[in-house]
């Protein structure tokens, strides 16, 4: 039987048919375009509408995931049947495992003849897009302090008010820990901090270093329980927000958040170090120096908790996909939990425990998406429609990634031993409540 895709190189295609090719799906989708054409089942629940000739150019000059992202962010393609703050159902209907497939060469030739050669001239991408990786390499050493600061600024200094609407009162932009699927986001985030606090065996009077501390939620959680906590973040907006929150809670005698690079922390002898969502930003090649630095900050018997997104294996490349690298996390890199454990071991830390919270991150992203939809108008007023759409797309796609085991989230707990292998008399079995 001859299918639509088989016929693609046999006739002049209308724009809706071309859009259908670029957004191949295993589930029914409906398509429409500015030339009045339609394609796909008209009663399909979700679909795409190509609004402008510029969108056609984006698709033609960057066929695949990047072209669709550019057209979507710029408003040249609009989703049908979903809210832009949470286009989860549309993304789930798109190509398997979120890999948008480039049409074969013979089909591309037919597309070109249908749309005209003028759409093959590249145009500037939306301003929300970061420079390509090769340009960033040419303009600065990857994961230097300056370039890391620029990458963090791109992602985290969007707007504290925007993040408050998406993340909720906890201002926590990392995976929560859900006792069950009915647990609220705030309860799950508090439970995550409780879990980290207990794993680190923190007690009143202990000293905690929290690297990549975000808005200081772990710092404040620990300080409320009598721990002297120091946090550090490369985001100026995060640091300012955190210091105000610390003052508002009357925790200034115990808690501090600094604006700066974690590598500039000079203090040592900490009872515990937490790294919650930082490892993704430092680069796999820098893991030896990163874990050596954290190990050096601990006293003998001190504990390290590393919480980060990981690959489901240790063979996949570390570089993020086009959309994540260009619109969300410039220079972000992921690797498998085995690599995380090996690097911690190689600097002399003894790994005591690890666990995968993959399903918990899918639920966290579900709830962030709900928050963005609920506060959509305010979020758009704060950061603009294109940036708000980037976040809706990113969170919905990430949710699918965690659900389908494209990515995972691992917590790794390790201890600093002395030269004789002494661990400070830790209990022989896990001492925390799961």
201-255 residue pLDDT tens = 999 999 999 999 999 999 999 999 999 999 999 999 999 999 999 999 999 999 9
Residue 285: closest CA among 335, 330, 348: 335
Q: Which residues, other chains included, contact 8 with Cβ-Cβ below 8 Å and sequence gap of 6+?
A: 17, 21, 103, 107, 110, 111
| pLDDT higher at 5 or 70 | 70
Distances in Å between the Cα of 405 and the Cα atoms of 79, 123, 303, 310 are: 25, 35, 29, 10
| Cβ pair 69, 327 in contact under 8 A | yes
Confidence (pLDDT) at 18 = 82
Winning range, highest mean pLDDT, from 130-139, 142-151, 325-334, 397-406: 397-406
| % of residues, the chain, pLDDT over 90 | 72
Decide yes or no: CATH 3.40.50.150 for domain 149-416: yes
134, pLDDT greater than 60: no
Q: Is the pLDDT of residue 399 over 80?
A: yes
pTM of the predicted structure, to 2 decimals: 0.89
Q: CA-to-CA distance for 152 and 148, rounded, in angstroms?
A: 6
**What does the pLDDT read at residue 13?**
82
Bridge-partner residues for 228, per DSSP? Answer: 207
Residue pLDDT, tens place only, 253-306: 999 999 999 999 999 999 999 999 999 999 999 999 999 999 999 999 999 999
Mean of the per-residue pLDDT values of the chain: 89
Other beta carbons less than 10 A from residue 249's beta carbon: 13
Parallel, antiparallel, or unpaired: how do β-strands 47-50 and 77-80 relate?
antiparallel
d(CA 82, CA 89): 7
Q: Domain limits of the chain? A: 4-120, 149-416
Task: State the greatest distance between any 2 C-alpha atoms of the chain, in Å, as a whole number.
Answer: 76
| Model confidence at 2: pLDDT above 50 | no
């Amino acid at each position: 039987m001859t299918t639509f895709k088989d016929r693609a190189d046999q006739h002049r295609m209308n724009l809706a048919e071309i859009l259908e090719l670029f957004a191949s799906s295993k589930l029914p989708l409906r398509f429409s375009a500015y030339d009045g054409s339609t394609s796909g089942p008209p009663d399909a629940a979700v679909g795409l509408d190509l609004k402008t000739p510029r969108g056609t150019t984006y698709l033609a000059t960057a066929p695949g995931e990047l072209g669709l992202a550019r057209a979507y962010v710029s408003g040249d393609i609009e989703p049908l049947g979903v809210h832009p703050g949470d286009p989860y159902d549309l993304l789930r209907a798109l190509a398997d495992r979120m890999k948008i497939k480039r049409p074969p060469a013979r089909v591309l030739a037919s597309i070109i003849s249908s749309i005209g050669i003028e759409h093959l001239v590249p145009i500037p991408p939306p301003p929300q897009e970061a420079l390509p990786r090769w340009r960033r390499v040419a303009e600065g050493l990857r994961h230097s302090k300056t370039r890391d600061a620029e990458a963090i600024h791109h992602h985290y200094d969007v707007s504290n008010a925007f993040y408050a609407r998406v993340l909720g009162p906890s201002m926590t932009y990392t995976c929560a820990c859900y006792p069950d699927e009915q647990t609220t986001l705030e309860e799950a985030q508090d439970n995550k901090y409780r879990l980290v606090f207990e794993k680190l065996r923190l007690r009143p009077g202990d000293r905690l270093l929290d690297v990549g501390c975000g808005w200081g939620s772990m710092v404040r959680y620990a300080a409320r329980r009598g721990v002297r906590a120091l946090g550090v973040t490369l985001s100026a907006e995060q640091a300012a927000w955190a210091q105000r929150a610390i003052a508002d809670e009357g925790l200034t005698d115990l808690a501090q958040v600094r604006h700066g690079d974690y590598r500039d922390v000079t203090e040592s002898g900490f009872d515990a170090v937490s790294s919650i969502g930082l490892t993704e930003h430092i680069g796999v090649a820098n893991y030896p120096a990163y874990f050596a630095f954290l190990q050096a900050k601990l006293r003998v018997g001190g504990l390290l908790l590393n919480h980060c997104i990981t690959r489901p294996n240790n063979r996949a490349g570390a570089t993020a996909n086009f959309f994540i690298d260009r619109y969300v996390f410039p220079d972000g890199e992921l690797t498998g939990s085995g690599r995380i454990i090996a690097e911690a071991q190689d600097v002399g830390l003894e790994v005591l425990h690890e666990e995968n919270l993959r399903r918990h991150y899918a639920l966290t992203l579900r709830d962030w998406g709900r928050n963005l939809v609920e506060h959509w108008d305010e979020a758009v007023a704060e950061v603009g429609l294109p940036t708000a759409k980037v976040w809706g797309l990113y969170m919905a796609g990430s949710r699918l990634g965690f659900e389908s085991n494209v990515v995972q989230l691992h917590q790794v707990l390790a201890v600093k031993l002395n030269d004789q292998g002494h661990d400070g008399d830790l209990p022989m079995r896990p001492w925390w409540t799961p």
